[in-house]
């Protein structure tokens, strides 16, 4: 019976600790932003370790880049024979993206160990351009290609070396599609054109499809990268103000704006990792593109929360001492 009473008191003490922790949990929709000092920098993806890839204009030439989470660039990327290079996705071994060459758009892989480039064109007839948007930890990748026969983007992914075309659709048929993210679990996110308007989608690996609903006051939504927990970022048109960055807490969530409408001429949510850290850019007419990282804000616990947590920990310590005292 003594053991049961002690166990009950221990559980009460643990409940006090848990209650204190819940009181200080992060609040989604609030972020600490760090804006980068390097001008004309557009981040597109961020890893769990904080590495960022994107595009940057240097002396009028657009290059890909790899940087840390503070925007400090460690490597510039210039694909062979390219006029412009854009880095779109990254894993431990490889950076992917696209370059503009004489013949149009061309996908590329950059081997981080050997610094070697490999070009990639979608293996279908009449291709005029290919873009690789993401690569997961298994080496599978996604993107889109364009055909000369219809001038539309067609989404695709490659899993275990097998190429599959994947186009989003609604009740009226299939439209121009960009497949922006293929996760480790093979869930997919992206956007497509419904007439002249951009719409967003999330397709799960079990076959479930979500064509996302526009929030009130918005006319377009472009969904970009998504993490393993189906949290995503992108940008939408809010009351005719143009591109405004947002965060989405899953397929059934409601978009949360990262910045107030009108705070910047344009803002773009581009990448999100599994810790919920967001990267993207804002646009200023005078300064051009400014890259940023947004870290979920954890509020400082209220004094009452700290007292509650402390009481729980103290209770555990006291019960522990009593229990040790009874063991002879």
pLDDT at residue 217, as a whole number: 84
Residue carrying structure tokens 């954890």: 298
- Check: CB of residue 221 under 8 Å from CB of residue 248: no
Res 229: pLDDT: 97
Alpha-carbon distance values, 46 to 72, 88, 188, 283 (Å): 13, 10, 17, 19
The model's pLDDT over 252-309, given as tens digits with 9 standing for 90+, comes to 998 999 998 778 999 999 999 999 999 999 998 888 999 999 999 875 554 444 444 4
The pTM of this model reads 0.81
Residues of the chain with pLDDT under 70: 1-29, 170-174, 299-328
Q: What is the pLDDT of residue 169?
A: 73
pLDDT per position as a tens digit, 14-43: 333 333 333 333 333 589 999 999 999 999
pLDDT at 11 (0 to 100): 35
Classify 104 as helix, strand or coil: strand
Nearest to 193 by CA among 239, 144, 240: 144
Predicted pLDDT at 174: 64
Per CATH, the homologous superfamily of domain 27-299 is: TolB, C-terminal domain (2.120.10.30)
Reading the block at residue 244, the tokens are 């405004």
Please state the domain extents for the chain.
1-24+300-328, 27-299
Residue-level pLDDT at 171: 58
Q: Note whether 201 and 244 are within 8 A (CB).
A: no
């Amino acid at each position: 019976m003594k053991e049961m009473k002690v166990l009950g008191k221990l559980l009460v003490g643990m409940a006090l600790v848990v209650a204190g922790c819940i009181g200080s949990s992060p609040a989604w929709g609030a972020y600490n932003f760090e804006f980068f000092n390097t001008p004309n920098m557009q981040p597109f993806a961020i890893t769990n370790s904080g590495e960022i890839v994107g595009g940057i204009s240097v002396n009028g030439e657009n290059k890909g880049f790899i940087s840390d989470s503070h925007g400090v660039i460690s490597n510039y990327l210039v694909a062979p024979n390219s006029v412009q290079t854009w880095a779109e996705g990254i894993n431990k071994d490889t950076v992917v993206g696209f370059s503009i060459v004489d013949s149009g758009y061309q996908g590329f892989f950059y081997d981080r160990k050997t610094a070697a480039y490999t070009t990639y064109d979608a293996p279908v007839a009449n291709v005029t351009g290919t873009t690789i948007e993401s690569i997961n930890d298994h080496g599978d990748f996604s993107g889109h290609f364009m055909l000369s026969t219809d001038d539309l983007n067609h989404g695709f992914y490659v899993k275990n070396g097998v190429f599959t075309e994947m186009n989003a659709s609604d009740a009226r048929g299939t439209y121009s599609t960009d497949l922006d993210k293929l996760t480790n679990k093979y869930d997919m996110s992206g956007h497509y054109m419904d007439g002249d308007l951009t719409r967003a989608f999330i397709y799960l690996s079990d076959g479930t499809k979500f064509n996302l609903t526009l929030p009130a006051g918005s006319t377009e939504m472009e969904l970009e990268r998504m993490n393993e927990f189906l949290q995503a970022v992108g940008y939408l048109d809010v009351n005719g103000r143009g591109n405004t960055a947002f965060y989405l807490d899953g397929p059934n969530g409601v978009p949360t704006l990262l910045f107030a409408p009108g705070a910047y001429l344009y803002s773009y949510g581009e990448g999100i990792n599994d810790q919920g850290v967001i990267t993207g850019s804002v646009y200023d007419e005078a300064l051009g593109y400014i890259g940023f990282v947004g870290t979920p804000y954890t509020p400082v616990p209220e004094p009452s929360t700290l007292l509650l947590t402390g009481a729980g920990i103290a209770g555990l310590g006291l019960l522990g001492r009593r229990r040790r005292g009874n063991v002879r």
